[in-house]
Structure 1
Amino acid sequence: MSQRRPTAPGLDGVRAVAVLLVVLFHVAPSWLPGGFVGVDVFFVLSGFLITTVLMEDAARAHHFDLPSFWVRRARRLVPAATAMIVVVAALTLVVGRDTGAGLRWQVLGGLTWTSNWFQVAQGWAYAEQGQPPVLNHLWSLGIEEQFYVVWPAILALGLLVMSRRRLAGAMLALALCSAALMGALYDPGDPTRAYVGTDTHVFGLLIGGALALARVPHLLRSDRPTASSRSRAVMTALGAAGLVALVAYAALVPWSGAATYRGGLLVASLASDAVVLAAANRTPLAAALSLAPLRWVGARSYGIYLWHWPLIVFATRIAPPDRAVLAGVLAVLASVAVAAGSYRFVEMPMRTDGIGLTLRRWVSPIERLVAHRRRPAYRWVLTVSVVGAVLVGAVTAVGTAPERSRLEASLLQGQRLLASAAGAADDAAAPPDRAAAAAEASTPATCRTVGTSVRVSAFGDSVLVAAAPALLGTMPRLRATAKVGWQYEDVAAAVRRAAARGALGKVVLIGTGTNGLVDRADLDRLVRRQLAGHEVVLVSPYVPGRSWQKGALSSVRRVARDNDAVRLADWHAAVAGREALLAADRVHPNERGARLYTRVVRGALGGC
């Protein structure tokens, strides 16, 4: 009879804290901008547990049984993840609204545990808010599984040539290298590569593994299960400080900020190490983390993590924009219920009895019915029908999934049209001659002349990109600088660069506020200084359900009201409540909406 593995109940509480941080971040990122740090807590805990398990198994068996370890990992991770992927793929057919866009690559990445690298290769932005991929969250499981495949062999070979202490030191050195690479590859425009790469984000797993190799006492070590009272006091203090640091990080540090990538997540991983060590010993912090509700959530944290994100995507795609947070909360509650079922009927049977035996047990009632030619019970007919429908739906969804959503295709077309309109030469390389400039200056900027005899310089974010076909169709002399994901700071910087080059048209169009707040004081300075002498059109943003809409809208309207040379193109008022004019994300204009956007912009100048 095999010896029962030692346990540390407080570690389930650490899992619960980690998954709660991640879930809150996904439901309301503006409330908890740094909640993504929960993933790094998971990484540290996983590195610690996996290394401890390998060392304990090797101590009992006097060798590393790597095949057995990998089989146990497969039982633990693969069935629940596969079931989620199949069901979610089928649900994309039911939900619609472009939730199946890019599904083929998402499913392939999820099933092969390489989702993070597929996201990099496909150019998906991790923080995409409009239409995020429904399996976007599997990047972290890809990093963990890749670590599980490689690390046991490295550990076994490493201990052949060096001591535990030296190997722990080597792991910390590798962790520092990984964190440094994250900082080096950080791109403020889109940090996805730095965030989801295995090479750049493996440091948490390595730090956790180094803790397991260190000669520190904890309950999972059969040779030294307890610590002295003094050691427990130190662990408690460090663990409490680490927990406070993690909560502060979650409340204050945004995902895209430089601090996150240039040391922030490394510090958070070290704080997680302290929490894990305290939770793995008999400390007051471990007792608090061992409370029954936390342990219940922690035991089901894998299933909650698997299900919460796709259900949030489905719910927020269906719900009205002003009910997005409520829809997210309901989706999380549903994910907890589904995770509980997954834990009972999928995860535990697979871990205890193995994948093959569990599958045979599921099929055996049907085999008995067929063998004895009995009339099947209603519940078996229903069960088989539902399972069959889900499998057929999943295969159909994957086979028919478009590579891009309609919105993505629209934005790509808009970017191409804007680039083509700009031409090969930069505006600064071919300024208008004096005669043309004088003629333009004497021509009033109205809805009839703007974009034809009067040049327009436009600056904005993805809403301007989506409206590009209609804008250019009626304003061929429009030249736009706009990019998906741009914040106000990016738009303002582009305007200032163009002004410094003398490359602005008589009319300057600015559309911003889709992705965040608008700095009213800075926008006012921009209008009064760099744009003095130009006719300025400010487009009011429409981003329903986003926490920053009220502030951004107020800033744009206030600047327009306070400056005589500024006209307000009230896109917000024109499109509010008219979802038929918007893409599936309810923010970007579709083809009809783009025509309305153009009429609003031209109408702001009057003269028609």
Structure 2
Amino acid sequence: MSTEADAAHSAPARPAGPERPASPPPVGGPAHAGPPDRPRTRFRGDIEGIRAVAVVTVMLFHAGVPALSGGFVGVDVFFVISGYLITTQLLSEQNRTGGVSLMGFYARRAKRLLPAANVVLLTAAVFVFLMVPRGRWGQIGGDIIAGASYLLNWRLAERFANPDPTMPPSPVQHFWSLAVEEQYYLIWPLLILLAVALAKVSGARVKPVLATALGLLAAGSLAWSVTTTVGAQSPAFFQTTTRIWELAVGAGVAMSVGAWARLPRPVAVVLGWAGLAAVLVACLSFTPMMDFPGYTAALPVLGTAAVIAAGCAAPARGGAETALGVAPLRWIGALSYSLYLWHWPMIAIAATYWGPLSTSTGLLVIALSTVPAWLTFHFVENRIRYSRRVSQSPRLALGIGAGFSALGALAGVALLLAG
């Protein structure tokens, strides 16, 4: 998975990214628009559309649809989208004010992400208590605590270093990707502030300093991802260090938005379709047994970056943004965070209670998950995100986020102690 403008205005970002069970993975169960180099503010329906493609492919993968054996790459699509949108917002603020308000940034993240996420964690704890054997309560309770604190990816990396093939996947396992993004959100604004400070001291321009820092971060993360995936694919899948480069690619597109906006329209059309094709090829041809992420993730990552970059140019008839910007995909894209939060716990708990799900049953569970997703989107996400009182008080926003996180963590503690 930005700020309140969470509708793909070059400012929204949904966390998250869809989850893929670790390896050996149990299948089934995000004209120019102004002066160069300045963030755009026009509505980006193509971003909502590619976000919809990402969440749908992941949900269908988890439902066990055989044709989408690589649907897990939706998480990589989300990482690139989040890197682009978050960086666009931060650079826009830096251009306007000369700096970045950390409290304002984290307050926007807290009110946007934490309430919905912890409503799902709390609900999952209740259904685990009612439907999952007691012997698993302790482990799942610990997972819920780690999910509420956005450290679950490291807990899973340690668990899957020596996986137990008899242990079903956790119903909150998908929170690993949210943890990666939250950890990125902690690092990236600080890096921008550091770049601003270094530029002032050295007399250099901010953007080259920041670009250098971003390049070093991306190169180091990619190298780590490639080398770690070969030796320990399962834990590498969950580590923040193997994923940062994917968010950095999106950030790089945001930093060079002026250049992309100047693309000739025919070039932008080809680039957008090529990028979308790359994402779809990965979804259809990758398999859970491949070494991943590593260099293999470059196909969906660069494909997503190409789609976003092409959309920075003026919309062109026949371009990928036309297909991605249709109303149904925009609707799904807007709902993607809640869909991502809800679909996996429902599949995992149903599979634990009733046994392995058929593809048709998995698709039914996916369809049912749209109901709590829609309710959460309208009555939790939007009520808090668009509250004028909350928007005017970063302290209140942070307090609300902390309160919801405490509820999620306490639900995990209760399950852990009961088990």
Structure 1 and Structure 2 fold alike (TM over 0.5)? yes
Match of 1:46 in 2: 82
Residue number in structure 1 paired with 2:233: 191
The answer for the alignment partner of 2:416 in structure 1 is: 398
Aligned to 2:350: 315
* TM-score, normalization by structure 1: 0.55
SS, match of residue 31 in structure 1 = helix
* Cα distance, 1:312–1:87 mapped onto 2, change above 3 Å: same
- How far the C-alpha of 1:49 sits from its partner, in A, is 0.3
In 2, Cα distance between equivalents of 1:276 and 1:129: 41
1:237 Cα deviation after fit: 1.0
Alpha carbons 1:89, 1:393 under 8 Å: kept: yes
The equivalent residue for 1:108 is 145
The answer for the alignment partner of 2:224 in structure 1 is 181
TM-aligned CA deviation for residue 177 of structure 1: 2.0
Share of identical aligned residues, percent? 31
Partner of residue 18, structure 2: none
Q: Is the Cα–Cα contact under 8 Å of residues 93 and 393 in structure 1 kept in the other structure?
A: no
Distance 1:99 1:324, change over 3 A: farther
Report matched runs for 1:159-558 at 5 Å. Answer: 159-160=196-197, 161=199, 162-187=205-230, 191-216=233-258, 227=261, 231-258=264-291, 260-281=292-313, 282-283=315-316, 284-319=319-354, 321=356, 323-353=357-387, 354=390, 396-401=414-419
For 1:307, give the aligned amino acid: W
CA RMSD in angstroms comes to: 3.0
Q: Which amino acid aligns with 2:242?
A: T
Distance in 2, Cα, partners of 1:129 & 1:23: 23
Superposed displacement of residue 123, structure 1: 4.0
Q: What secondary structure does 1:300 align onto?
A: helix
The 2-side partners of 1:391 and 1:183 are apart by: 34
Closer, same or farther: CA 396–173 of 1 in aligned 2, 3 Å: closer
Q: Distance in 2 between matches of 1:187 and 1:15?
A: 29
- Pair 315,279 (structure 1): closer, same or farther in 2 beyond 3 Å: farther
- Per the TM alignment, residue 22 of structure 1 is displaced from its structure 2 partner at its CA by 1.3
Retained in 1: the 8 A contact 2:146–2:152? yes
> 2:284 corresponds to which letter in structure 1?
A
**Number of residue pairs matched by the alignment:** 359
CA contact (8 A) 2:76 2:297 kept: yes
State the partner residue of 2:35: none
User: Over residues 327-356 of structure 1, what are the superposed CA-to-partner deviations in whole Å (9 max), with x where a residue is unaligned?
Assistant: 211221122111111110000111112395
Higher relative contact order (CA 8 A, sep 6+): 2
Segments of 5+ residues of structure 2 without an aligned counterpart are: 12-40, 200-204, 401-407
Deviation at 1:93, TM superposition (A): 1.4
SS in structure 1 at match of 2:125: helix
CA deviation map 1:207-262 (0-9, x unaligned) = 111111115357xxxxxxxx45x52322221121111111111111223323x344
User: Which one has the largest radius of gyration?
Assistant: 1
> For each residue in 1:86-106, what CA deviation from the matched residue of structure 2 results, as whole angstroms up to 9, or x when unmatched?
000110011124563512220
Q: Shift of residue 166 of structure 1?
A: 5.0
> TM-score, structure 2 length as denominator?
0.78
Distance (whole Å) between structure 2 residues aligned to residue 277 and residue 133 of structure 1: 36
Uncovered stretches (5+) of structure 1, i.e. residues with no partner: 219-226, 361-389, 402-608
The amino acid that maps onto 1:61 is T
* Contact residue 272 and residue 321 of structure 2 kept, 8 A: no
Q: Judge conservation of contact 1:194–1:201 (CA < 8 Å) in 2.
A: no
Report how far residue 319 of structure 1 moved.
3.3
Are the structure 2 counterparts of residues 112 and 392 from structure 1 closer, same or farther at C-alpha, using a change threshold of 3 Å?
closer
